[in-house]
Amino acid sequence: MRKTRAVSLWAFLAGAVLAVYGCGGGGNGGGEPPAVDVSGIWSVDWFEDGGMSGTATADLAMDPDGTITGTYDPDYGGPVVATGSLYGYDLTLTVVETSPLDRTITLLATVNAAGTSATGTWSDTVGNTGTWDAAKP
């Protein structure tokens, strides 16, 4: 009985580790390869859940592994660095602002099959949330 419990415990722990960390070792963290190239200039519309809205321009470059770098230039301040990744059609961008608020913004979206538009949600480190959409003009 004791040996059965020990084997069951190890099987459970091994399953839990695989569930949390996954298996395989792809260079992109185990995510799908990028389905499209999101490099280029994007027009962004953002909407805060509290009612505010605005526009921005994002100028992005993407490596073959889905790593994204570029700039994000909102209508209320100068351009800031944007970094992120694309796995399949799932886009994640991170923007660090120091003015008018000292905050980090995380933008999540799904990119369309043509790679010309994206729609998603955003949140920041000071508690704001909202939605956003973007298109290549």
Predicted pLDDT at 101 = 83
pLDDT tens track for 84-121: 999 999 999 999 998 888 999 999 999 999 999 999 99
Q: What is the pTM of this model?
A: 0.76
At residue 28, the pLDDT reads: 46
Determine the pLDDT at residue 54.
95
What does the pLDDT read at residue 2? Answer: 44
pLDDT digits 0-9 by tens, 63-89 = 999 999 999 999 988 899 999 999 999
| Domain-located, residue 26 | no
Domain count, the chain: 1
The verdict on residue 15 lying in a domain is no
Coil, helix or strand at residue 127:
coil
**Distant-in-sequence contacts of 44-51, Cβ < 8 A, 24+ apart:** 44/72, 44/132, 44/133, 44/134, 45/132, 45/133, 45/134, 46/74, 46/122, 46/130, 46/131, 46/132, 47/130, 47/131, 47/132, 48/128, 48/129, 48/130, 49/128, 49/129, 49/130, 50/128, 50/130
**Where residue 102 sits, what CATH number does that domain have?**
2.40.128.120
User: Which structural domain, as residue segments, surrounds residue 105?
Assistant: 40-135
Q: Answer yes or no: is 67 within a domain.
A: yes
Residue 20 counted as domain residue: no
Asked if residue 19 is part of any domain, the answer here is no
* Residue among 78, 133, 94 at smallest CA distance from 111: 133
In a domain, 4, yes or no: no
